[in-house]
Structure 1
């Protein structure tokens, strides 16, 4: 099955002064063909109750969470 998706350029936030653009592709139509695999984020109290007795921990940094958000000029 062949599919095509809309592609367009948007201004890079960090390069707006220079007018640099980046290519983006809208893959939303592809969602109709994907299986919905829900995996909800556990509640904080559920996670904290699992800490006692744990010996290995990991962390992730949300400092760059702006990369997860759509650009201001794009529909959500």
Structure 2
């Protein structure tokens, strides 16, 4: 998608997918940290007509399931 996801929300989805809690050490922004980043999909939409449809709520669990199966975890 063409908008940023909140990092803590992203971590929450990974935690739920793995059934484990991450060790969180929250610190202030550090020099060089990027406050916000996201993909610019303008070119791929224009050139290929691609429109992403997978949300992090669907994609992260699918990825972690694939990763576990692939690595026999």
So what's the TM-score if we normalise by structure 2?
0.26
Name the one with the larger helix percent.
2
So what's the TM-score if we normalise by structure 1?
0.26
Name the one with the larger strand percent.
1
Structure number, greater radius of gyration = 1
